[in-house]
Chains A and B, each alone.
Chain A
Amino acid sequence: MDKKKKRSIIRGIILLVLACAIIYTIYNSATKEKVEALADGDQAPDFELVDLEGNTHRLSDYKGQGVFLNFWGTWCEPCKKEMPAMERQYQQFKDQGVQVLAVNIAQSKFEVQNFVDQYDLTFPVVIDKTKSVMQAYNVGKLPATYLISPDGKVKKIPPGELSEQQIQSFMESIKPE
């Protein structure tokens, strides 16, 4: 009787371990792409990049404020539409603790400066020269927006181009209390 119990336990443990290994493998394989990418609620990877005036902007410097993090390029058509809307909303929200940080993907200072001048952008525009921040945030298509709440966590990653209305409601959502 005792032996029988022992046998059942050993068999049970072996089967359980093997079943867990299978489940773990499937889970890992299913989430492989997503593990590398950011998800809502993750800590936003901290970074520091230099803007056109030579000032260093560090994401963690904006702790306590909501950060509207936008990746863009001058060649990107939707970015051109999005930028003026972002600028207008930035004017509304900058005194309410929402910061806009626009990250250009490895373009020349000349092109970025030209773009900023053309659209009269007043929020900080930094250049990710080595694309390291872009890789860490797993940016695929441009524009890409990451909403970061005042506690430094990713609140939401809305896909694609955003309308002015969306930008407004998203900025509202990351406003510090």
Chain B
Amino acid sequence: MEKITCVCGHENPFGTKICGKCGRPLSEDAKAQKILDMRYDGSAIRSKTYNKSIIDKIWNFFSSVKVGVSLIVITLIASSLGTFFPQKFNIQAATEAEKALYYEQNYGTIGKLYYELGFSDIFNSWWYQILVGLLAISIIVASLDRGIPLYKSLKNQRVKRHESFMKKQRIVAQGPVTEGDPSKTLDLISEKMTQLRYKVRRDGNALLAEKNRFARSGPYINHLGLIIFIFGVMLRFVPGFHVDEAMWIREGEVRAIPGMEGYFLENEQFILETYDNDPTRAQIEQGVAAIPKNYQTNVKLYKQAEGALLGDTENMELVKEYSIRVNHPLKYDGYSIYQMDFRQNELKTMTFELTHKESGKSLGSLTIDLTDPDKEYVLGENTKVEILNYYPDFSGMKDGVPQTASQYPNNPAFVFKMTTPDKPKGEISFVSIGAPPVEAGENEYKMTFKNVETRNVSGLTIKKDVTIPILIIGGAIFLLGLAIGSYWNHRRLWVQQLEDGTIMLAAHTNKNWFSIKKDLDIVTDYAHLPKYRDQLEENGESDKEGDDVK
């Protein structure tokens, strides 16, 4: 591609609108403009310049602001559609098939479509991820394409600009100094602008005062933060970077921690504390008896012995004892274990008394650990109770055989064999809660229910997220870029003293024209400069804020 050689002799890359050295307008557009479009300082947007190979074409596609904005809009619409119906992970259904059915049953055909198109789990949908990925590419490519030429152009800018450049700036002035010695004018400008914290450069009869050039990097810093953020989110999908598991653990149990291989947790106690205040009016109105004060699980964290195999719980090493409370997770090795849920008063033990039916005489009592019952309980000489069968969650009879619905002691039932001195062969009785015992024949003895002990169950979640520092850094850079781009403005003032001593002046800022005019008022007054004009306001376009974003 050819270079554009300016009249001043400077070679500009193809597509340049304003000569990088002298500032003469080069493109037909720029020549026709009354006020120059100073976006990217007239440098060539890289993608606009070459459009030959497939790589260039793909590159140019992503470099387009139109494409970028379209991608943002599409992503926004897709994301909002994802809020129409509940997301999949919020639905109480065990299997994938049940979840699929849920959408169809509750929302009809639209629900089915919603599920099948992946809106029900939008962040894990392949097309949504592609969309965000394309957006990331667009941000990177567009930033590279504009940021690098802009940086070069600003870095290499000359002090002396051509008349045609100066005259086509929004703010211009021309004329003799209003009083004093014209030969001192440039010195005065230089002095005042330095005082106003501008950087002043001089080249013969020309002067350039510049301030806050870094403000132009704001959008690019902002984009960098966004890319780091997206990268952090992407890492969450990499195995090992993000763990989110849940577990139920009963008091007294030792369980392997899901997602945290080689570690075991023992639940020593679950504590629920409430405020012991008299019920307030609001409480009574809402039917709330007591207000919870604390949910707490006292745990012991164990680590499997070095080199131990899965399932080997010998020689576990106690690594930490901790009281997990809401917002005070147990933290270890990057993992956090949070208090999330609880169930109270699950049956733990049941105590029975072996009694003679008629006389009511007791032969002793026994306590059965419902999660670990013994085979037999010896109460005395020739007196014992055997458990023939145990149904922790008795759910009725099927073909004359008692059934259990689960392994949890929600509704324990037993088949006892009671051996007593009177009945050395033993008597058999089926005992369940809330029903009279079923006996084989006419028994003389019975198991009398005495009492129960209960225990609580803690619901814990296990989380690990290595990506959070990355997200914080990305977010911080994002905000930094936003602040730089928003609260600082790049201001420039070009001055030339012509041979007859008159002054030609032009000024530009990427935003906040009001402030640069205030600076100009000060320097005009101090160096007795001719009054400047705002060419945009003269054209009756004052309502339109001519701020350039980039």
Q: List 28 A-B contacts (CB under 8 A).
A: A8-B53, A8-B56, A12-B55, A14-B140, A15-B55, A21-B133, A22-B133, A26-B126, A26-B129, A29-B129, A32-B239, A35-B239, A47-B312, A48-B310, A75-B406, A108-B371, A110-B372, A110-B375, A110-B387, A129-B313, A130-B311, A130-B313, A132-B256, A132-B310, A132-B313, A133-B311, A135-B256, A136-B310
Residue B229 CB within 8 A of the other chain: no
Distance between Cα atoms of A4 and B129 in the complex (Å)? 33
Q: Do A29 and B309 touch across chains, with their CB atoms under 8 A apart?
A: no
Report how far A30 CA is from B130 CA in the complex, Å: 13
A35 to B129, CA, bound (A): 19
Are the CB atoms of B239 and A4 closer together than 8 Å? no
Cα distance A132–B254 in the bound complex, in angstroms:
10
Contacting B at CB under 8 A, from A21-71, are 21-22, 25-26, 28-30, 32, 35-36, 45-49, 58
In this complex, the member of B137, B256, B372 whose beta carbon has the largest number of chain A beta carbons within 10 angstroms is B256
- Assess A45 versus B50: contact at CB under 8 Å? Given A14-B140, A21-B133: no
> Which of B50, B254, B407 is within 8 Å of A129, CB to CB?
B254
Tell me which of B59, B237, B310, B393 contacts A45 (CB under 8 A).
B310
B1: nearest chain-A partner, CB-CB: A4
From the candidates A32, A58, A73, name the one contacting B309 in the complex (CB within 8 A).
A58
Q: Which B residues lie within 8 Å of A166 (CB)?
A: none
Asked if B261 and A136 sit within 8 Å, CB to CB, the answer is yes
Residues of chain A within 8 A of B239, CB atoms compared = 28, 32, 35-36
Contacts of B56 in A (CB 8 A): 8, 11
**CB neighbours of B426 from chain A (8 A):** none
Which residues of chain A have C-beta atoms less than 8 A from B238's C-beta?
28
Q: What residues on B are CB-neighbors of A109 within 8 Å? A: 372
Task: Report the minimal beta-carbon distance from A31 to chain B, rounded to whole angstroms.
Answer: 9
Q: Are A111 and B129 in contact (CB under 8 A)?
A: no
The answer to whether A132 and B264 touch across the interface, beta carbons within 8 angstroms, is yes
Contacts from B to A (Cβ < 8 Å): 1, 50, 53, 55-56, 58-59, 124, 126, 129-130, 133-134, 136-137, 140-141, 144, 234, 237-239, 254-256, 258, 261, 264, 309-313, 371-375, 387, 389-390, 392-393, 404-407
B55: chain A residues at CB < 8 Å are 8, 11-12, 15
Known A-B contacts A26-B129, A74-B407; A15 and B59 likewise in contact (beta carbons under 8 Å): yes
From residue 121 to 167 of chain A, which have CB atoms closer than 8 A to chain B?
A: 128-133, 135-136
A158, chain B: closest CB distance, angstroms:
17
Which A residues form the contact surface with B (CB < 8 A)? 4, 7-8, 11-12, 14-15, 18-19, 21-22, 25-26, 28-30, 32, 35-36, 45-49, 58, 73-75, 105-111, 113-114, 128-133, 135-136
- Known contacts: A45-B310, A109-B372, A130-B256. The answer to whether A26 contacts B140 by CB under 8 A is no
B309 touches A47 (CB 8 A): yes
- CB-CB nearest 3 A-B residue pairs: A132-B256, A22-B133, A47-B310
- Kindly list 14 other residue pairs between chains A and B, CB separation below 8 angstroms, not including A29-B129, A35-B239: A11-B56, A15-B137, A18-B136, A21-B133, A22-B129, A22-B133, A25-B237, A26-B130, A32-B239, A46-B309, A108-B372, A130-B254, A132-B311, A136-B310
The majority secondary structure among interface residues of chain B is: mixed
Q: Please, which residues of chain A bring their CB within 8 A of the CB of B261? A: 136
**B390 pairs with A111, CB closer than 8 A:** yes
Nearest-Cβ distance from residue B487 to partner chain A, whole angstroms: 31
Q: Smallest Cβ distance from A50 to chain B, in angstroms?
A: 9
**B residues near A22, Cβ cutoff 8 Å:** 129-130, 133-134, 136-137
- Shortest CB-to-CB span from B471 to chain A, Å, is 15
**A residues near B53, Cβ cutoff 8 Å:** 8
Q: In the complex the two chains form, what is the Cα distance from A132 to B141 in whole Å?
A: 48
Partner of A74, one of B133, B140, B255, B404: B404
Report whether A29 and B237 are in contact in the complex, using a CB–CB cutoff of 8 Å: yes
**Closest beta carbon of chain B to A28's beta carbon, Å:** 4
Q: How far is the CA of A114 from the CA of B311 in the complex (A)?
A: 23
Contact B310 A133 (CB under 8 A): yes
User: What B residues does A107 contact at CB under 8 A?
Assistant: 407
Q: Are A21 and B234 in contact (CB under 8 A)?
A: yes
Cα distance, A130 to B234, chains bound together (Å): 33
Q: With A and B bound together, what is the CA distance between A133 and B256 in angstroms?
A: 9
Interfacial chain A residues near B390, Cβ < 8 Å = 110-111, 114
Q: Which residues of B contact A28 (CB under 8 A)?
A: 237-239
A4, A19, A21, A73: which contacts B50 (Cβ < 8 A)? A4
Closest to A129 in B: B313
